[in-house]
Structure 1
Amino acid sequence: MKKNIHIISHTHWDREWYMSYEKHHLKLIRLMDSLLELLDRDPEFKSFHLDGQTIIMDDYLQVRPELRDKVEHYIREGRLIQGPWYILQDEFLTSSEANVRNLLIGHRDAATYGPVSKIGYFPDSFGNMGQAPQLLQQAGIDNAVFGRGVKPTGFNNSVGEAAYESPFSEMYWESPDGSRVLGILFANWYHNGMEIPVEPEEAAPYWESRIRKVEQYASTPHLLLMNGCDHQPVQMDLAAALRTARDLNTEYDFIHSNFNDYIESVRETAPDTLATVRGELRSQQTDGWGTLVNTASARVYIKQANQHCQALLEKAVEPLAVMAQSVGARYPHHLLTYNWKTLMQNHPHDSICGCSVDEVHDEMMARFAKSRHMSEGLAEESAMAVAGAIDTSAFANEEDAVPFVVFNTSGWKRSGLVSVELELLREALYEPSPAEIAKRLETVRLPLGSVIDASGNAVDASIEDLGVRFGYDLPENRFRQPYMARCFRITLVAKDIPALGYGTFAWIKKERQPSAYATVSAASEPTANTMDNEHLKIMIQEDGTFELLDKENGKVYRDLGIFENVGDIGNEYIFRQPQNEIPLTTKGLRADIVRLEHSSLRTVYEIVHRWAIPAGADDLLSRETATMVPIQERQAQRTAATVPLVIATKLTLDKGAKGLSIQVSYNNQARDHRLRMLFPTDLTSEVHHADSIYETAMRDNEPSAIWSNPSNCQHNQAFVAIDEPEAGLAVAHKGLNEYELLRDGRNTIAMTLLRSVGELGDWGVFPTPGAQCLGEQSAELLLIPYAGGKNRHVAAIEAATLHTPWTMRQVAVQTGQLPAGHSWLNWSGEKLVLTAFKANEERGDTIARWYNSTLQPQTLVIQAADAGDWYRSNVLEERLEGLDAADGIIMVPVKPAEILTLGFKVSTK
Structure 2
Amino acid sequence: MKKRAHSIHHTHWDLIWYFTVQDADVQFSYNMKEILDAFDNKEINNFYMDGQTAPIDDFINMFPQEEKRIQKYVKSGKLVVGPFNSQLDSFITSGESVINNLRLGIKTSKRLGKTSKIAYLPDSFGHSVDFPKIFNQFGIEDFVITRGVGDEYNLDSEFYLESNDGSKLLVYTMIAGYGYGCYGFKEGTLFSDKAVDYNKINVHQLINRLLDYSTLENEFVFPLGFDQNPMVRHIDERIKEYNEQQKDIEFVETTWGKFLNRVRERGKNLQTHKHELISTQYHRVHRSIYSARADVKAMQDKCERVLTYELQPIMTILDSLGIEYSHGLLDKTWETLVLCQTHSSANLTEETNDYIERETKNALNLAYSHKQYLLKLLSLSLAKQNKEAPLIVFNTMPYKRNSLVKAKVFTKSESFSICLANKRVDYTVIQSIQKNHGVLRNDASKIDSDKFHYETDVIFEAKDLKGLSYQTYFIKEEKSEKTFEVNNNHFIENEKYKIYQGKGGISVLDKETDTLHNQSVYIEDTGDEGDSFDYSYPDKDLKIVDYMGFANVNYKVSPLLSTMELEGEMMIPKDLEERKNKVTTSKLKYKITLKLEKGSSIIKVSGHFNNDAEQHRVRLIFSGKEKNKFSYPGTQYSIIKRKTYSDEEKYWREKQYFEEPSPIYPLLNHVTAVNRKNVLTIYTRSSKEYEFVSEGYKDIGVTIFRSYGALGYPDLNRRPGRPSGLDYMVFETPGCQMKKKNYFEIAFGYQSDYNENQIFKKYVDYATDSTVYQLQDYDKSINPIDYFPTNPLNKKLPLSHSLLEVKHSEGVYGTIVKSDSSKDYVLRLFNSRNTEVEAGKINSMFKNDIIVSNLEEKNEMKWQEKHNKLKPGELRMIKINKGEK
Q: Which residue of 2 aligns with 1:505?
A: 473
The aligned amino acid for 2:460 is V
CA shift, 1:537, in A, is 0.7
Q: 1:696 to 1:861 in 2, by over 3 A?
A: same
- Specify whether residues 78 and 549 from structure 1 end up closer, same or farther in structure 2 by C-alpha distance, changes over 3 A only: same
Q: Which amino acid aligns with 1:36?
A: L
Residues 402-551 of structure 1 aligned to structure 2 (within 5 Å): 402-424=389-411, 446=413, 448-454=415-421, 456-462=423-429, 466-470=433-437, 486-496=453-463, 497-511=465-479, 514-519=481-486, 528-542=489-503, 545-551=505-511
- Secondary structure of 1:236 counterpart: coil
C-alpha deviation, 1:401, in angstroms: 3.3
- CA distance in 2 between counterparts of 1:671 and 1:415 reads 45
Distance 2:802 2:699 in 1: 40
Change (3 A) 1:344 1:671: same
Could you give the per-residue CA deviations for residues 26-79 of structure 1, whole angstroms, max 9, x where no partner exists? Answer: 222232233233323344x21111100000201222333332222222222222
Evaluate the alpha carbon distance shift between residue 539 and residue 420 of structure 1 in structure 2; reply closer, same or farther with a 3 A threshold.
closer
Contact 2:417 / 2:424 at 8 angstroms: preserved in 1?
Answer: no
Query: Structure 1 residues 40 and 846, CA, compared in 2 at 3 Å: closer, same or farther?
Result: same
2:8 aligned counterpart, secondary structure: strand
Q: 1:404 to 1:806 in 2, by over 3 A?
A: same
Q: Say if 1:392 and 1:703 are closer, same or farther in 2 by CA, change over 3 A.
A: farther
Write the distance in 2 (CA, Å) between the matches of 1:471 and 1:850. Answer: 49
Task: Give the corresponding residue for 1:729.
Answer: 680
> 2:119 corresponds to which letter in structure 1?
G
Q: Does 1:609 align with 2:608?
A: no
Alignment match, 2:559: 600
| Equivalent-residue separation in structure 2 for 1:317 and 1:864 (angstroms) | 22
Cα displacement (A) at 1:303: 0.5
Aligned residues: 827
Distance 1:593 1:820 in 2: 43
- Alpha-carbon distance between aligned partners in 1 of 2:884 and 2:288, rounded to the nearest angstrom: 47
List gaps (5 residues or longer) in structure 1.
153-162, 426-445, 473-482, 620-635
Pair 1:803 & 2:767 matched:
yes
Query: 1:830: Cα distance to partner?
Result: 4.9
**Distance verdict in 2 for CA 1:195–1:38, change over 3 Å:** farther
CA offset at residue 853 of structure 1?
Answer: 1.6
Closer/same/farther in 2, CA of residues 72 and 815 from structure 1, 3 Å limit = closer
Cα displacement (A) at 1:657: 2.6
Q: Cα RMSD between the aligned structures?
A: 2.9
Q: Secondary structure at the match of 1:853?
A: coil
Aligned pair 1:824/2:803, yes or no?
yes
CA distance in 1, matches of 2:84, 2:829: 22
Which residue of 647, 671, 674 maps to 1:720?
671
CA distance in 1, matches of 2:432, 2:554: 26
Give the CA deviation at 1:554.
1.9
Deviates more, 1:246-255 or 1:603-612: 246-255
Deviation for aligned residue 1:282 = 1.4
Secondary structure, aligned partner of 2:311: helix
Residue in 2 that maps onto 1:305: 299
Question: CA 1:516–1:79 in 2, change beyond 3 Å: closer, same or farther?
Answer: same
Q: Is the 8 A contact 1:665 1:779 kept in 2?
A: yes
Aligned residue for 1:216?
A: 212
* Equivalent AA in structure 2 for residue 278 of structure 1: K
When residues 412 and 903 of structure 1 are mapped into structure 2, their CA distance, relative to the original with a 3 A threshold, is same
Secondary structure at the aligned position of 2:524 is classed as: strand
Give, in whole Å, the separation in 2 of the partners of 1:758 and 1:366.
Answer: 20
Is the 8 Å Cα contact of residues 315 and 409 (structure 1) preserved in structure 2?
Answer: yes
| Residues 83, 118 of structure 2: 8 Å contact kept | yes
CA 200–29 in structure 1, closer or farther in 2 if over 3 Å, else same: closer
1:147 has 2:164 as partner:
no
Query: Which string of whole-angstrom CA distances, capped at 9 and with x for unpartnered residues, describes residues 558-602 of structure 1?
Result: 21221101110011112111125241111487322233x223333
Say which SS state the counterpart of residue 696 (structure 2) adopts: coil
Q: Following the alignment from structure 2 to structure 1, what is the Cα–Cα distance between the partners of residues 100 and 576?
A: 42
TM-score between both structures, scaled by the size of structure 2? 0.88
Cα deviation digits, residues 434-457 of structure 1 (max 9, x gap)? xxxxxxxxxxxx351322333614
Q: Who is 1:38 aligned against?
A: 38
Superposition TM-score, scaled by structure 1 size: 0.85
| Structure 2: stretches of 5+ with no match in the other structure | 196-202, 440-449, 653-659, 713-723, 777-792
On the 8 A contact 1:170/1:185 being kept in 2, the answer is yes
Of 358, 361, 374, 1:369 maps to: 361
| Cα distance change of structure 1 residues 567 and 901 upon mapping to structure 2, 3 Å threshold | same
**Cα gap change, 1:656 to 1:375, in 2 (>3 Å):** same
The 8 Å contact of residues 669 and 774 in structure 1, kept in 2 or not, is answered as yes
Q: 2:840 aligns with which of 850, 861, 867?
A: 861
Per the alignment, do residues 91 and 638 of structure 1 end up closer, same or farther by CA in structure 2, a change over 3 Å counting? farther
Give how far 1:467 is off: 3.6
Bigger Cα displacement from structure 2, 545-554 vs 720-729: 720-729
Is the 2:649–2:661 Cα contact (8 Å) retained in structure 1? no
For the residues of structure 2 that align with 1:200 and 1:653, how far apart are their CA atoms?
68
CA deviation after TM superposition for structure 1 residue 2, in Å:
5.1
Aligned ranges 1:263-342 → 2 under 5 Å: 263-271=260-268, 273-283=269-279, 286=281, 290-342=284-336
Q: Which amino acid aligns with 1:369?
A: K
CA drift of 1:100 comes to 0.6
1:846 deviates by 0.6
Matched with 2:691 is 740
Corresponding position: 1:126 with 2:69: no
Contact persistence 2:7–2:252 (CA under 8 A): yes
Distance 2:848 2:379 in 1: 29
- Assess if the C-alpha contact under 8 Å between 1:198 and 1:240 holds in 2: no
| Kept after mapping to 2: 8 A contact 1:323/1:386 | no
Counterpart selection for 2:370 from 352, 357, 378: 378
The code of the aligned residue for 1:849 comes to R
* Distance change (3 Å), C-alpha of 1:815 and 1:140: closer
1: CA distance, partners of 2:704 / 2:141: 39
8 Å contact from structure 2 (residues 628, 696) kept in 1 = no
2:854 aligned with 1:874: yes
1:189 corresponds to 2:177: yes
1:457-492 deviation digits (Å, cap 9, x = unpaired) = 4323328654455499xxxxxxxxxx9673442513
Q: CA shift at 1:743, angstroms?
A: 4.5
The aligned counterpart of 1:845 is: 824
Once residues 587 and 112 of structure 2 are traced to their aligned partners in structure 1, the CA distance between those partners, rounded to angstroms, is 57
Tell me the equivalent position of 1:633: none
SS at 1:695's partner residue? coil
The structural deviation recorded for 1:850 is: 1.4
CA contact (8 A) 2:492 2:557 kept: no
Give yes or no for contact 1:854–1:896 (8 Å, CA) kept in 2: yes
Q: Secondary structure at the match of 2:55?
A: helix
- Alignment correspondent of 2:745: 780
The verdict on how the C-alpha distance between 1:201 and 1:839 changes in structure 2, with shifts beyond 3 A counting, is closer
Give 1:204 deviation, angstroms.
5.9
Change (3 A) 1:293 1:311: same
What letter is aligned with 2:164? P
Q: Which stretch of the first structure deviates more once superposed, 15-24 or 377-386?
A: 377-386
Work out the CA distance in 2 between the residues paired with 1:101 and 1:215.
37
1:681 corresponds to 2:624: yes
Partners of 1:561 and 1:548 in 2: CA distance: 9
Pair 1:767 & 2:732 matched? yes
